[in-house]
Each structure stands twice: as C-alpha cells, then as structure tokens.
Amino acid sequence: MRGVEFDGSCEVADHACVFLDLPTVRWARSAGSRPPAPEPARAPGTMRHVLRQRQVVVADFPARALSASSLTEVSAILLGSVDAVLAGDSGAERVQFSPAYRAALIQRQGLRVWSGLNCRDRNRVSLEGELASLADAGVAGVHCVTGDHTRTGSRPDARPVFDLDSTRLAALARAAGHLVSVAESPCAPPTGRRAERLVEKVRAGAEVCFVNHAGGAAPVSSFIREVQDLLAESQDPGAAVAFVPCVPLVVDVASARLLESFTTLVLPPGYLERILRAPDPFAEGVSAAVDLSLEMLALDGVRGVNLSGGAGPAGAAVFAEALAAVGRELSPTIQT
C-alpha cells in the first residue's frame, strides 16, 4: 500500500486522509493489542510494592496436575519460605486446572500466586476472561508466555491456538491492571535480537523479566546491561524492567533429567556434576541453588530470583521441601 499521498489525500478515495489529524499512537504494534492502562496504586503488600522495597524469591510450583490435595500439600510446605509461587503450565502434563481456579486454591492456603498464562491453548476471548478472573482473584502477577507447541508435552492431539503472542498478551494483562512479567532466553536464537525483543515487551506493558537459564551470573549481567542500554536509547521515561533470573534446583537424578528437558537450557559449568556426585545430592542441590542465587541477587537490576525445576519420582512434596529450604536460606539476604 502507498499510504497517504503527498498532498494529504487518501490513497483509495477522493478526500483527505482520515488519519492525518489523529495523534500519534505510541504503542500499538499489532491489531488487537491495547496500550497499558495507568499504573495501579502500589498498595502495601502487593507484589509491585514489595519489588520496589526489596528483592524477592519466587519458586516454581511442583504440585501434581489436577490434584487439589497435592496443591494443598505443596502450598503448606512453601508457606512462609518464599514470596510467591510461579504457577504455570507443566510441560509434562498439558491438562491443568484453569489458571484462575488454581490461583484461588493456592491463595486460599496463604501463598501469593504469580500466575502463568499461555497463548497456546486459548484464544484472545478466553485469555481476556482468564485475565479478568485472575484480577478478581487478586493474584500477585501474571506471567505472559506464548507457549510451547502442542506437539511437545503430553497432548500432541490438541490443536495449538496462538491467537496472540506474549507481547500482545502482556499489553492485555497490563490493561487489566496486573503486574506483568514475561520471559526471555538470552542464549536462544535469535540471540542478537533477544534484548530488543524484551524492550518491545516492556513497551507493551511488561514490568518484570524472568531470565531463563543462561549459564550463570555473568551472561545474565551482560544481557541486563544490553537491555538497559536499549531502554536508555529509547528515551521512553516509562520503559523500565526488573529482572528475575531463573536459578536451577536439582536434588536427584530425576530432577536433573527433568531440568535438562527444558528448552534452551544452559547451566553454569559443572553445576550438575557438583550435585550428582555429592554424597547427599539433596543437601548439595540446595547449597548450589543458594550460592547461585546470591550471585544473581548481587547483580545490578536484579530484583529477585526464580527457583526453577520440578519434581522427580520422589514426589512433589520432596521437591517443595528443597524449594522451601533455599527460600529460608536466602531470607536473611533479601529482608533488608
């Protein structure tokens, strides 16, 4: 298409272009996206408020899918040891309780929920309904992901939706008043454009970036600096993002194998060997996660860590105990 003509006339009709007198839209990258709403009030106790006051510890939530009893058991173990749980969709078990229902069950136990929401399984109408339900439930935040293809995981028979992507979902979530997080993988192709991709997500409404496993503190620090430089160049006073790097937790061979199944996984050199060769892999896994977490928390721009991984055959409760142990070890560091 040619767009507006040189004289200001419409390209397809004999009148002035109707767009000439409209103000410039600062963010509307694609059809169906919405600009961020005004920032909600930072009430004490909300995750947005906590992030401004101190660093946080967020833990993956290893409860069994479709098991309210497992969800309750894991919640009881984690209560008081972490600031929030990241309750997303399991790659191994695609069929889950709906995000809002799961969040309500967990929050009933007293835990803050950072709820994962993917575009793979839901069209935009369903996503908007979930965002409204999550707002009504009062979740700590919404983690917006595009989602893996249905050919991975336990339900290859299901058709993928992908009506939206994580960037447009972030805009919808921010417009609904949520604290919005997204993910980026600095080591995954296209590595040269990962930072600028995140900048677009921030402009869409994301406030927090969970940095996927990138091989340790040094690569994460480099990625943060690259993003901050691009945000500074954008000269957008509202463009800022807090970083929450993922820290791998491994306590046995099964949890190591599960972690290795994550896409674009890059671990610090010797990380798994340190744990699996130890006389007590559980204790060593907790110690390794604490050590790496402290390295991450010392980086400029890092507002917390995400303890990442999943349970092996030993069960969700055992892995939740490991998550809780790491959280308790880190508590004196972040409670300042």
> Whole-angstrom Cα distance, residue 323 to residue 314?
14
Q: Which pair of tokens denotes residue 210?
A: 């969970």
Domain layout of the chain by residue ranges: 47-334
Q: 95: which strand partners?
A: none
Residue 62 and residue 323 in contact, taking contact as beta carbons nearer than 8 Å: yes
Residue 169 and residue 182 in contact, taking contact as beta carbons nearer than 8 Å: no
Whole-prediction pTM value? Answer: 0.86
Identify which of 35, 45, 43, 97 has the alpha carbon closest to the alpha carbon of residue 71: 97
Residue 164 and residue 124 in contact, taking contact as beta carbons nearer than 8 Å: yes
pLDDT at 261 (0 to 100): 73
For residue range 143-182, list pLDDT tens digits in order.
999 988 777 778 888 998 999 999 999 999 999 999 999 9
pLDDT at 334 (0 to 100): 85
> Whole-angstrom Cα distance, residue 234 to residue 202?
11
Dihedral, CA of residue 103, residue 118, residue 334 and residue 290, to nearest 10:
110
pLDDT at 304 (0 to 100): 98
CB count in 10 Å sphere of residue 9: 14
pLDDT at 313 (0 to 100): 61
pLDDT at 14 (0 to 100): 61
Q: Which residues of 17-49 are buried (b: 16+ CB within 10 A; e: fewer)?
A: beeeeeeeeebeeeeebbebeeeeeeeeebbbe
Contacts of 222 (CB under 8 A, 6+ apart): 186
Residue 202 CB-density burial (10 A; 0-12 exposed, 13-18 middle, 19+ buried): buried
Dihedral, CA of residue 307, residue 313, residue 315 and residue 318, to nearest 10:
-60
Q: Which segments of the chain have a pLDDT < 70?
A: 1-44, 91-92, 237, 263, 312-314, 336
> Whole-angstrom Cα distance, residue 144 to residue 152?
19
Angle of helix 217-234 versus helix 281-297 axis, rounded to 10: 30
CATH number of 47-334: 3.20.20.220
pLDDT at 34 (0 to 100): 43
> Whole-angstrom Cα distance, residue 333 to residue 314?
30
DSSP-derived 3-state class of residue 80: coil
pLDDT at 317 (0 to 100): 95
Angle of helix 68-78 versus helix 99-107 axis, rounded to 10: 50
pLDDT at 23 (0 to 100): 33
- Which of left, alpha, beta for 66 (phi over 0: left; psi -120 to 50: alpha)? left
